[in-house]
Structure 1
């Protein structure tokens, strides 16, 4: 980046930051913070703990917005000061410092602008992501494990906490299914874009003749909700079964039936939890997962009640193919919904999904508006 590019970048980021400050409306932001601080200072504030926690969470978020805005302004001011110094005397170290500062500011503004598109009722929550093997035999089970690694890498790169809630190993290689619990702000808002069928095309490592193989895996994403979520499901609508947890054999197999599978009969939705130590813990977690699924689907179908959810629509929705990953005869990852594509397939499999997630969220926002 030369001086002309640097100056142009400073001007563009200054304009973006000005729009961001206008959007946040600093005087109104300060007034909101003051109002909530006064509410939190009342003697009876903790009489209703749930409401109090919501107020404190809102207060923390507002203060975070204010602090972030100030940090961005400071970063831009530093870059402008470096630009003035560089106009007096060329210095490669100063130029590199200015470029790095502007890159960080640009990335943070990109992320913040993307978060403004996440206005759904569960978008700020963590996420529960489930991968299920589709057609393709052993290759499909290997593909499901590759996706598990990809989403784990992406989550870790975002600074999220990742926990394996369920795992069913494949017969020869890979996995049949897996469920990740991903704790972190906006995890569901970002990952909801990944719901659907993911298609892999490659030369099969499991075929001695080196034939090209097409494999499929399905991804489901639900919000990570509190176990106490208020949703009543009639017992008659549930089929609950138990089994042993563990792998293919040996010490990893649990001799007690701690794994729990719950099927919601009206919609045929099924959840399974295996990773907790007791059957009761797995049942509680499985129920929380099922409730999250039902709440999200009810929202998508604009159903007034859980009983209004149509099972045929649920089944069809999970089957929508959203993305192709081609390893042979060329290398390409392409999203079928947005047209977003890249030849850097290795980076994608290492968790570089932000361009795909961003393209989907921007497209959905344009459709919604």
Structure 2
């Protein structure tokens, strides 16, 4: 990089920072922070704990935005000062340092601008991601396990905590179903577009004749919500509970006692399993919370007046319903059928590099809204 390139990048980022400051409206931001701090200082602030927690979360979000803006501004000023020094004295080390700072600033601004598209009610929440093997037999179960690895890697690269909540192993290989809890801000907002059927085309490792096989897996996404955040009441008569041995690796109690819990919402047929906790009662409670979150998201998406209207949201993981194709043979290509974003770097995608698909989907939704 030359000094002229550095100065050009400084100007570009200065323009973007200016737009960001205008968007945030810093005077109004400071005023909001002051008002919320005043509210939090009142003696009766914690009388309503739910309201208090929401206020503190809002306060922390606003402070985080302000601190982030101040940090970006400071980094830009430091880089600008370096550019002035380089006008007088050539120093490659300083030039590289400033260039590296501006590259990081650009990435941060890209991510921040993308987050502004996440304005849904639950977009800032963590995510609960469920993968179910669809049509394709053993290959589909193997495909479900490959997707599990892909989303786990994606979450880890984002700095999120990824926790395996429930897993049902395949008969010969792979998995029949799995539920992941992805803990981190905006995890649901980023992943909500991953909901749908994912189609794999490859030479089957389970076919002795080496034939090409097409298989499917369904992905469901819902926000990770606490029970007190879900304003949804389900009549007890609409619920069916069952228990089972959790099984799996490790743990003696879960393999000998029926600690796993399954809850079915009878009007829709939607079922949720949980084996995460050590006791049946805890798993039953957790499964009910997950079921409520799933029903709530579906109701919001379809603007359903009654939960009984949501049956149409369920999509079979089979031909004609896919949102994305992953082709391993006869060529290598991953293509999203909604945004037409595609890449031949299939190994990177399976290692968690799905951000281009996520970003393209969010921008499409933003344009259509």
Residue matched to 2:100: 100
Which residues of 2 match residues 161-180 of structure 1 at below 5 A?
161-180=161-180
Could you say what the CA RMSD is over the residues aligned between the two structures, in angstroms?
1.9
Residue matched to 1:211: 211
* Partner secondary structure for residue 227 of structure 2: coil
Distance in 2 of aligned mates of 1:215 and 1:317 = 12
Residue matched to 1:366: 367
Residue matched to 1:192: 192
Deviations 1:123-160 (A, max 9, x none): 11111000000111111111111110111111111111
* More displaced stretch, 164-173 vs 37-46: 37-46
How far 1:94 sits from its partner (Å)? 2.1
Distance 1:318 1:362, change over 3 A: farther
Distance in 2 of aligned mates of 1:351 and 1:334 = 15
Which residues of 2 match residues 76-115 of structure 1 at below 5 A?
76-115=76-115
TM-score normalised by the chain length of structure 1: 0.94
TM-score normalised by the chain length of structure 2: 0.94
Distance in 2 of aligned mates of 1:54 and 1:270 = 30
Residue matched to 2:53: 53
Distance in 2 of aligned mates of 1:24 and 1:303 = 34
Distance 1:285 1:295, change over 3 A: same
Aligned residues: 366
Residue matched to 1:293: 294
Residue matched to 1:334: 335
Residue matched to 1:352: 353
Distance in 2 of aligned mates of 1:317 and 1:38 = 52
Residue matched to 2:70: 70
For the Cα contact (< 8 Å) 1:195–1:318, is it kept in 2?
A: no
Distance in 1 of aligned mates of 2:238 and 2:282 = 21
Residue matched to 1:316: 315
How far 1:251 sits from its partner (Å)? 6.5
For the Cα contact (< 8 Å) 1:203–1:210, is it kept in 2?
A: yes
Distance 1:332 1:95, change over 3 A: farther
Distance in 2 of aligned mates of 1:80 and 1:27 = 25
Distance in 2 of aligned mates of 1:270 and 1:325 = 28
For the Cα contact (< 8 Å) 1:220–1:318, is it kept in 2?
A: no
Distance 1:141 1:183, change over 3 A: same
Distance 1:82 1:211, change over 3 A: farther
Deviations 1:22-43 (A, max 9, x none): 1111111111111111111122
* More displaced stretch, 90-99 vs 335-344: 90-99
* Partner secondary structure for residue 72 of structure 2: helix
For the Cα contact (< 8 Å) 2:129–2:179, is it kept in 1?
A: yes
Distance in 2 of aligned mates of 1:249 and 1:6 = 55
* Partner secondary structure for residue 272 of structure 1: strand
Stretches of structure 1 that go unaligned for 5 or more consecutive residues are none
* More displaced stretch, 16-25 vs 94-103: 94-103
Stretches of structure 2 that go unaligned for 5 or more consecutive residues are none
* Partner secondary structure for residue 77 of structure 1: helix
Residue matched to 1:30: 30
Residue matched to 2:264: 263
Distance in 1 of aligned mates of 2:252 and 2:172 = 18
How far 1:89 sits from its partner (Å)? 3.4
